[in-house]
Chains A and B, each alone.
Chain A
């Protein structure tokens, strides 16, 4: 603003302190920008909707013992019947996987039978006509499976289905004109077409790692009841009765047949628990980065306070002289604030370059997106404000130095 020249002249006499503050601001900016960026990316991921109605929903992981690996159809049927009879249960389905579970099936799909490469990657869910209602996914076009379309199949020999339901994301990817309903898809390297009979608004894949980001809403449901000894029951409780069902359901299963393993760790979970577990790492990373940012900003502010205090102490006599020669308190205050602003601007310019360099390095090392400009701008603004705030207290003290100081020796 005013008196930039004398400030620069003064800074030349305090090169070390000036460089240190600028360097600290630059490094802090570089780290804070990247940390903020990582936080926002993680939070975006955490807030992605699954497409399910997640309240009143629970999952049981079940594995039958002492039966042949892929011959559990009658046992699954008995389980489903027992679960449906429970008073608090609204609907049940036995599926191979569900969103956020962590493990599941995936395959390529083609629209052209002769195409060598698949057009999109998708997850495969296998379930009967209760799948949509139990999950609570919204059908936006077409129809649900009919019970006569459901087939039982060994997971190692699944017949290509005549009818499938796909997520809107997959439908749009395969048929960008928006008319996917009634059209056909080829699953994997199959030669037999499957007709899209229904499209659901949204259905996430079972994974939430970065590797599945490119197809995280591409899902297809096949009208197949797997006969595998390993299965997952998804249970929708009647509103408000989840707590009761959470206890009653595993007990009912054990009553039907004791020869099964329901893991004590995460074998029975509400969907809220499924979600929490799936995003634990992302949430933790966001918290860690947040803490690091706060501590860093605190330390940088402390450093600025310390050095500015030192300068004020050193220049008491000069301040006194200026005051005696007619400078107002406001002049002194703005002198120190301007000085800090100059250093701060130098720091953030270097810092912005460092932030971009650091991000580029992270991009080459880890699967990470490019830093976008707004984050750098937010960081720049934050650090300049922080610098001004940290300077304020010592600068106020400087402005209170009385003119009489000029006449005193130390």
Chain B
């Protein structure tokens, strides 16, 4: 059996050599089709992946409608909370873990007077953030509820920032100047940067550079640190003239996250949200029926359109492209196989069964597919350099050629070609031995 397979492969190679132009056309067709699909798939895979697979079903983003139907797009409540609702969520403490966050941009002033200040981006959040999102630590740890309640100036910095400021030493316990305030470093995270950054889709940071600092939300509010991310006050809404009126107002700018481990908990949390909205309605703040959402990570990413439109367009384009290449390959294989009708006639007359013909020609097609796959790999590699032309550099960086992609490329090429070969092979197997011999 395997001897037969090798024999078939040898026959295939010989036949391919006999017709170099046609063979080259087929290989190029498969190669281009597969490469186009793979490059776009690599980008698509990078942007549509699950950023936190171990917990994506347990993390939820609550949404509360604080504006009313006339401001909502298609009935959807805003994608973030205002300060009042965010605080109510934290006070209620209905989830296993809960946090709020907003983006901060803080100037870091190095101790060394010769070095220029620079901007570090990060988040003001609660201590639950770190265990909730499984943030890995190089040194120290996140802060706890005590620091949140005590509104303490503590900070967690990223490994990269620690490298830049302290040469990578254990800096836990040291001081850090952010703007004109001094913080105590309690932890240094490992390089941690889930893509897309599901927890801060609201500020359009899905593919932004990794966060560098984390400070307590409560301290940031006390110090009147403004958000560096988005702030949405609705159409024609006003932010108010000062920080306090902004906090009291209906502008949304805080992303809330809760961890809910069981279906019952999820159900209970939904009820809590609706109860809260109903309460607000009775109090006269909302004059519409409760309109809340509780989406898990997948639903949230979907809702926020985490996959950029360029990626979808080019993926569907590439699949169309592959389809054309396959149609092309079917035509060329048909031409190639039928040209050998006399040879098939002779083989059949000498006792080869239809199954033998099938095996021989499918093996030949597999050879074409393999060669096309190898060409496709080379072109995919070249295409990876080109993705930066189309996609934002943050996204282009994510696309890379790895073992699974290499295997997938080869597999797709072979499978596609063998699939394309079925019809031409069937036609070849229909060749009648007697008819062919007679006409010769």
Q: Which residues of A contact B (CB under 8 A)?
A: 16-17, 20-21, 23-24, 27-28, 30-31, 35, 38, 63, 65-66, 69, 107-108, 118, 156-157, 188-189, 254, 258-261, 263-264, 280-281, 283-285, 287-289, 292, 295-296, 299-300, 302-303, 305-307, 309-310, 313-314, 358, 362, 365-367, 409-410
Task: Compute how far the CA of A66 lies from the CA of B239 in the bound complex, rounded to whole angstroms.
Answer: 24
Contact with A along B407-440 (1 / 0, CB 8 A): 0000000000000000100010000000000011
CB distance from A304 to the nearest CB of B (A): 8
Chain A residues near B235 (CB-CB < 8 A) = 108
- B263 on interface, CB distance cutoff 8 Å: no
Q: In the bound complex, do residue A63 and residue B107 qualify as a contact, i.e. CB atoms below 8 Å apart?
A: yes
Task: Compute how far the CA of A302 lies from the CA of B332 in the bound complex, rounded to whole angstroms.
Answer: 9
Q: In the bound complex, do residue B236 and residue A107 qualify as a contact, i.e. CB atoms below 8 Å apart?
A: yes
Q: In the bound complex, do residue B179 and residue A30 qualify as a contact, i.e. CB atoms below 8 Å apart?
A: no
Task: Compute how far the CA of A292 lies from the CA of B309 in the bound complex, rounded to whole angstroms.
Answer: 18
Task: Compute how far the CA of A35 lies from the CA of B316 in the bound complex, rounded to whole angstroms.
Answer: 12
Q: In the bound complex, do residue B389 and residue A299 qualify as a contact, i.e. CB atoms below 8 Å apart?
A: no
Contact with A along B95-128 (1 / 0, CB 8 A): 0000000000001010000001111000000000
**Candidate in B117, B226, B386, B423 with the most chain A CB atoms within 10 angstroms:** B117
Mind listing 29 A-B residue pairs with CB under 8 Å?
A20-B334, A24-B324, A24-B331, A27-B320, A31-B317, A31-B320, A63-B119, A66-B107, A66-B180, A108-B236, A156-B242, A156-B246, A157-B241, A189-B238, A254-B116, A260-B117, A261-B117, A281-B392, A284-B391, A285-B310, A299-B328, A303-B328, A306-B25, A307-B334, A310-B335, A310-B338, A358-B320, A366-B313, A410-B440
Chain A residues near B107 (CB-CB < 8 A) = 63, 65-66, 261
Contact with A along B333-358 (1 / 0, CB 8 A): 01110110010000000000000000
Chain B residues near A156 (CB-CB < 8 A) = 239-242, 246
Binds A, one of B28-36, B210-218, B363-371: B28-36
- B327 on interface, CB distance cutoff 8 Å: yes
Q: In the bound complex, do residue B238 and residue A188 qualify as a contact, i.e. CB atoms below 8 Å apart?
A: yes
Q: A17-B331, A24-B328 are in contact. Are A303 and B317 (CB under 8 A)?
A: no
- B325 on interface, CB distance cutoff 8 Å: yes
The residue in chain B whose Cβ has the minimal distance to the Cβ of A230 is B105
Task: Compute how far the CA of A65 lies from the CA of B323 in the bound complex, rounded to whole angstroms.
Answer: 57
Chain B residues near A24 (CB-CB < 8 A) = 324, 327-328, 331
Task: Compute how far the CA of A6 lies from the CA of B75 in the bound complex, rounded to whole angstroms.
Answer: 64
Task: Compute how far the CA of A301 lies from the CA of B334 in the bound complex, rounded to whole angstroms.
Answer: 16
B334 partner, pick from A17, A31, A157, A302, beta carbons under 8 A: A17
Chain B residues near A157 (CB-CB < 8 A) = 241-242
- B15 on interface, CB distance cutoff 8 Å: no
Chain B residues near A296 (CB-CB < 8 A) = 321, 324
15 additional A-B residue pairs with CB within 8 Å, beyond A314-B338, A358-B320 = A16-B334, A16-B427, A21-B331, A24-B327, A31-B321, A63-B107, A65-B109, A66-B107, A66-B179, A66-B180, A156-B239, A281-B392, A299-B325, A306-B331, A313-B339
Task: Compute how far the CA of A90 lies from the CA of B357 in the bound complex, rounded to whole angstroms.
Answer: 81
Give the interface size class of chain B.
Answer: 35 or more
- B314 on interface, CB distance cutoff 8 Å: yes
**Candidate in A16, A35, A118, A366 with the most chain B CB atoms within 10 angstroms:** A16
Task: Compute how far the CA of A345 lies from the CA of B173 in the bound complex, rounded to whole angstroms.
Answer: 77
The residue in chain A whose Cβ has the minimal distance to the Cβ of B335 is A310
A35 partner, pick from B317, B323, B324, beta carbons under 8 A: B317
The residue in chain B whose Cβ has the minimal distance to the Cβ of A259 is B117
Q: In the bound complex, do residue A299 and residue B324 qualify as a contact, i.e. CB atoms below 8 Å apart?
A: yes
Task: Compute how far the CA of A28 lies from the CA of B32 in the bound complex, rounded to whole angstroms.
Answer: 14
Task: Compute how far the CA of A302 lies from the CA of B226 in the bound complex, rounded to whole angstroms.
Answer: 61
CB distance from B253 to the nearest CB of A (A): 13
Chain B residues near A69 (CB-CB < 8 A) = 226
Chain A residues near B334 (CB-CB < 8 A) = 16-17, 20, 307, 310
Chain A residues near B389 (CB-CB < 8 A) = 280, 283-284, 287-288
Task: Compute how far the CA of A303 lies from the CA of B36 in the bound complex, rounded to whole angstroms.
Answer: 18
Q: A156-B240, A306-B332 are in contact. Are A281 and B321 (CB under 8 A)?
A: no
Task: Compute how far the CA of A283 lies from the CA of B392 in the bound complex, rounded to whole angstroms.
Answer: 12
- B22 on interface, CB distance cutoff 8 Å: yes
Chain B residues near A366 (CB-CB < 8 A) = 309, 312-313
Contact with A along B62-83 (1 / 0, CB 8 A): 0000000000000000000000
Q: In the bound complex, do residue A20 and residue B330 qualify as a contact, i.e. CB atoms below 8 Å apart?
A: yes
Chain B residues near A300 (CB-CB < 8 A) = 324, 328
